[in-house]
Amino acid sequence: MSKKILAISLLAIASFFVSCLDSKGSDSQSGSTQVIVPKSQPIVTVLPFTAPAKSNISVEKANIYAKASNGLVELGVKWSERIDNAKDFEKVQILNAYNVARDQLCARAGLQGGIAEYDWITNVAMKNPENRATFEKAGFKIK
């Protein structure tokens, strides 16, 4: 019985919003309401990452890493609120989408290996003392 009441209530609410949209749309020239949807970016191909034999990187690669790093911080801030506010059963889906977004961000920044390449630079290349000057030219301070 309560499912029927809930369904009827939802239909009543939906019909109210539809009637409101119809009354607002009749004043416009076309008689329809247009929704502006943000443009989505096409999916970038992320190549499988294989760590190079040497951990030396170029200044260009360090600059790309810096750009990706800044983007990942912003992405983390935006997604953390979504993850915190999600219901338990939604969190896994949101975390999976977040991982795809991180991969895409890195690939768009120029790290063709995606987040795997970013992690390699963080964990291997950045620890190589020969790369210290390279990272400093890109704006990093290594201690």
| pLDDT higher than 70, residue 97 | yes
| Domain that residue 86 falls in | 37-137
142 within a domain of the structure (yes/no):
no
Q: Dump pLDDT digits (tens) for 18-60.
A: 344 344 444 444 444 454 544 566 788 999 999 999 999 999 9
Residues 42 and 72 in one domain: yes
Count: domains in the chain: 2
Residues 124 and 112 in one domain: yes
The first and second tokens of residue 100, run together, are: 């795809």
65 within a domain of the structure (yes/no):
yes
- Under the banding of pLDDT at 50, 70 and 90, the label for residue 91 is confident
Nearest Cα residue to 51 out of 118, 129, 103: 118
The model's pTM: 0.68
Residues 57 and 105 in one domain: yes
